[in-house]
Amino acid sequence: MTAARIISWHSDPSVPAFAPPPGAVDAHCHVFGPMAQFPFSANAKYLPDDAGPERLFALRDRLGFARNVIVQASCHGTDNRAALNAIAQSQGQARGVAVVDPAISDGELEALHAGGIRGVRFNFLKRLVDAAPRDRFLEIARRIKPLGWHVVVYFEADMLADLRPFLDALPTLVVVDHMGRPDVSQGPGGADMTAFRALLDSRDDIWTKVTCPDRLDPKGPPWRDFAAATAPLVADYPDRVLWGTDWPHPNMQDAVPDDGRLVDMIPRLAPTAELQQKLLVTNPMRLYWSEAD
Ligand code: 0GY
């Protein structure tokens, strides 16, 4: 079993030439395990090697970032202890997004809040999770609203039309992972981006992460199609975008991205200092560190 565990991250990422602004937040990353302490879910669709907080924080420092938002990875199911452990070890420099079961108690939700969780993730990718009825997700969204949390949704472009009634019904701020995985080769005016912009235009409390060129642009570095499709989105919705590495890049095996090159892409997505400040500091701080702490 151990031999089959996946290493999905670059062993020696470059130091980026681009220096993020002080206080920059990597707003989409994960931790795996360590498995001996925090076993993976019996329903996990992939079995990764350990990628714990020490590695994550070493990468954060190498890339010139100050903070992390740790998103519960599907391989840990609804057991958020690995993410909570990483947040606890971050000395206030990490917050998280959990995956929870609808049966969770109010006390457990409050404990997650105390542990640094500020949102829940609803994952619709069939290759990652078993299907969950949408009414259960809506119930969770209603439960977490009083805590001031938001909902993170992960879906693919061809699911958007079907998901619209569900997304429209969500009662909290919504963050869409990786822009709903558009086909970036269609360009900024292509069908996928046009449908996604219609979603953003339908409510002013839908945000997105301009993340994962490595997943969305099969032509590879320097990810030209991704930059061409994404930069106009950052320009048009500057107060509703987040950026993250996606480290340790769950499931990426064949083309593991160099995280330094991902960071070096930021000025092509957000060309001005003002846009960079919003993308990397102002926006994530508003969502994850809105209290005075
Ligand atoms: C991502 C993407 C993936 C995986 C997960 O929770 C996860 O396992 O998020 C993926 O395989 O596309 O955003 O990290």
List pLDDT tens digits, range 196-211: 999 999 999 999 999 9
Domain around 86: 2-288
Is the beta carbon of 93 within 6 A of some atom in ligand 1? no
Does any domain span residue 236? yes
Is the beta carbon of 282 within 6 A of some atom in ligand 1? no
Question: What pLDDT sits at residue 226?
Answer: 98
Cα 242 from Cα 244, distance rounded (Å): 7
Does any domain span residue 199? yes
Question: What pLDDT sits at residue 291?
Answer: 78
Give distance in angstroms: CA of 292 to centre of ligand 1.
Answer: 31
Of the candidates 237, 258, 264, 251, the one whose C-alpha atom is nearest the C-alpha of residue 128 is: 251
Segments of the chain scoring below 70 in pLDDT: 1-3, 292-293
Which class for 148: exposed (0-12), middle (13-18), buried (19 or more C-beta within 10 A)? middle
Cα 266 from Cα 210, distance rounded (Å): 10
If you take atom 13 of ligand 1, which residue's CA is the nearest one? Answer: 246
Is the beta carbon of 41 within 6 A of some atom in ligand 1? no
If you take atom 5 of ligand 1, which residue's CA is the nearest one? Answer: 73
Is the beta carbon of 128 within 6 A of some atom in ligand 1? yes
Question: What pLDDT sits at residue 36?
Answer: 97
CATH number at residue 184: 3.20.20.140
Give pTM, 2 decimals.
0.97
Atom of ligand 1 lying closest to residue 45 CA? 8
Put the strands of the sheet holding 150-154 in their side by side order.
25-29, 67-71, 94-98, 117-123, 150-154, 174-176, 206-209, 241-242
Does any domain span residue 81? yes
Is the beta carbon of 214 within 6 A of some atom in ligand 1? no
Give distance in angstroms: CA of 250 to centre of ligand 1.
Answer: 5
Is residue 43 within a helix (H) or strand (E), and if so which, with residue range? Answer: none
- Say whether 246 is catalytic: yes
Best of 97, 178, 214, 251 for a ligand 1 pocket test (most atoms within 8 Å of beta carbon): 251
β-partners of residue 94 are 68
Is the beta carbon of 251 within 6 A of some atom in ligand 1? yes
If you take atom 2 of ligand 1, which residue's CA is the nearest one? Answer: 250
Is the beta carbon of 152 within 6 A of some atom in ligand 1? no
- How many structural domains compose the chain? 1
Question: What pLDDT sits at residue 292?
Answer: 45
Question: What pLDDT sits at residue 2?
Answer: 46
Does any domain span residue 293? no
Give distance in angstroms: CA of 182 to centre of ligand 1.
Answer: 15
Q: How far is CA 243 from the centre of its chain?
A: 8
Catalytic residue among 246, 254, 264, 293: 246
Helix, strand, coil percent content, the chain, rounded in steps of 5: 40, 15, 45
192 within 8 A of 186, measured Cβ to Cβ:
yes
